[in-house]
Structure 1
């Protein structure tokens, strides 16, 4: 009997994800506003002294933050500083390790799907491009290229003695621009938006972002995974069209070779889950076992 697609979903992961992305921006902005400072580097008030945001329990940016006196650092930023300075401080490891452990336990590229402001912006650009009817290439650059870009950033950071990606990071352009009025990375962000509109679908997040490449390298360890129910799938391809990371990461499950998406590229964003009309995909804990290999036919065994 053919299964009737169920188009109603009790939870829309995409809406929850967007709420988390916006909440992250507000979280970083809150200390400045609470202290009476302005955003975008704009001063407010008169000559009266105001408290320093850094004295509050939480303050910082996606590159460096302080929570209750505990410093947290972007691990890829730390690697760039180590490469550029040719030195290593043990404190840098302790400050970056909680971030690595957190995203490593969840799913490393969950940062890209649930926190990164560039991903939120590019989803809006993606919607605009579809509304304008602009056609772009689906995969102009291989998705694994970003790991090569990440390695190149570290090598060039060592060669130039400058933390290279931090100098033009579009993530900093959004995050630090809102908080402190920083213009570093704005040209990169503009180029990424133009590429998204006219060159390739999700080309920055899928194939070029070095931070995404770093998280992809450790991304297979996470416990939050997209699971697949082969019996429910109607092979409508809606999940592939919705995938923010890269449709190819769904190929093993859609071919029946696996029961969950194991690729380190998966952002656990839930877009494919929301798009599936038959609820063949779900977002949950654990990977599950790979399906057992089907036994060979008796005739084949006899011939062998």
Structure 2
């Protein structure tokens, strides 16, 4: 994700913390089985490159591969991406110049490195099953959106120094929140998603699709004509607003599914 206005550390400092019960009661199960899927990837193979599903660079970064001005040590590398083990793993590793080789996937605005042009649009639900990094400093995984220098919604961001908290930002309109819960922790698989409504964007978190909680609702939405490319990334903090890595141990972030439903499944609460 690229910071458009306030630095992330300041955004998070100002964000409301959304209270969450220790054992959230699941809502009436949404009808995922009947929902229309317009895009899905279970990452059994790595489909990256021109003419393929994903590209590995992004126009959101200042030169497509580096993003130091957004408080990151990132240097994007296709070699940081792997599907060994039946899911996507992005691995960040230290470089001799002080930056870190790491990875990113996007379906568009990829600096000609690939992508099939799939967009998330108003009314969609985007849902990912991810394993947060087993790290206590430096790691900054995220699922977000980007198109034409804007249209950014952070479906989630996670910082290793706050392992029990997810961060959500709607940079199209106004909306910034945090969700703290025992289901969120380092080295744990979790479902995270967002329903992109015209007037209200709602974020969902849970251990399974039939046990999701409403994590945050911004009551501002993305407007009637929102469209942007999904982006999966593992960034590395440079120490300004969150600690940089304290060791040179590689950091990994895993994803075993990313799905876009259009429209969002029935039965989902939106506030």
Which TM-score bucket, shorter chain as reference? under 0.3
Identify the structure with the greater helix proportion. 1
Question: Looking at both structures, which has the greater relative contact order when contacts are Cα pairs under 8 Å and sequence separation is at least 6?
Answer: 2
Identify the structure with the greater strand proportion. 2
Structure 1 length-normalised TM: 0.22
> Which structure has the bigger radius of gyration?
1
Structure 2 length-normalised TM: 0.24
